[in-house]
């Protein structure tokens, strides 16, 4: 449910949003994209096949310049310090709680991608 709401909120800003139902599909979307296609990845932690930590590690290990630079934000219900430390250790840049209010979501993304929110 949070996914659909957050996707809608992002689309309202004019963002083009792709969705992967599991971590393996997220990696495949990235693999099959032209470098620079994606500006940011919002990565759910609890996904089948590869969880968000594993998928992030796979993306970061790719031999592509954008794989090293693209901001990856963990989206999780677990907002404890240990969860954020695990996200950072997996190569993610930050984390945000699933279902955060719109302002928090936009502010988090704006930290890493300045052009998301239309003026």
The pLDDT value given to residue 87: 95
Enter the tokens of residue 19: 């969705």
Q: Classify residue 117: in a domain, yes or no.
A: no
Q: What is the CA radius of gyration of the chain?
A: 13
Q: Classify residue 80: in a domain, yes or no.
A: yes
Q: What is the CATH number of the domain that holds 18?
A: 3.40.50.2300
Neighbours of 101 (CB within 10 A): 10
Query: How many domains does the structure of the chain reveal?
Result: 1
Q: Classify residue 99: in a domain, yes or no.
A: yes
Span 16-29, pLDDT tens digits: 889 999 999 999 99
- Residue-range definition of the domain harbouring residue 12: 2-112
Q: Cα(first)–Cα(last) distance of the chain, in Å?
A: 28
User: What average pLDDT does the structure give for the chain?
Assistant: 88
Q: Classify residue 41: in a domain, yes or no.
A: yes
**8 Å CB contact between 98 and 76:** yes
Q: Classify residue 45: in a domain, yes or no.
A: yes
Q: Classify residue 47: in a domain, yes or no.
A: yes
The pLDDT value given to residue 1: 54
Q: Classify residue 29: in a domain, yes or no.
A: yes
Neighbours of 42 (CB within 10 A): 22
The pLDDT value given to residue 117: 42
Q: Classify residue 118: in a domain, yes or no.
A: no
The pLDDT value given to residue 116: 45
88: pLDDT strictly greater than 50? yes
């Amino acid at each position: 449910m949070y996914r659909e709401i957050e996707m809608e909120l992002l689309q309202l800003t004019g963002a083009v949003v792709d969705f992967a139902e599991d971590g393996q599909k997220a990696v495949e979307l990235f693999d099959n994209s032209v470098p620079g296609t994606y500006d940011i990845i919002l990565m759910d932690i609890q996904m089948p096949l590869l969880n968000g930590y594993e998928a992030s590690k796979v993306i970061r290990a790719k031999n592509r310049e954008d794989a090293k630079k693209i901001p990856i934000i963990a989206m999780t219900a677990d907002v404890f310090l240990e969860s954020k430390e695990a996200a950072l250790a997996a190569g993610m840049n930050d984390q945000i709680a699933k279902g955060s209010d719109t302002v928090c979501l936009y502010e988090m993304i704006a930290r890493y991608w300045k052009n998301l929110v239309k003026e």
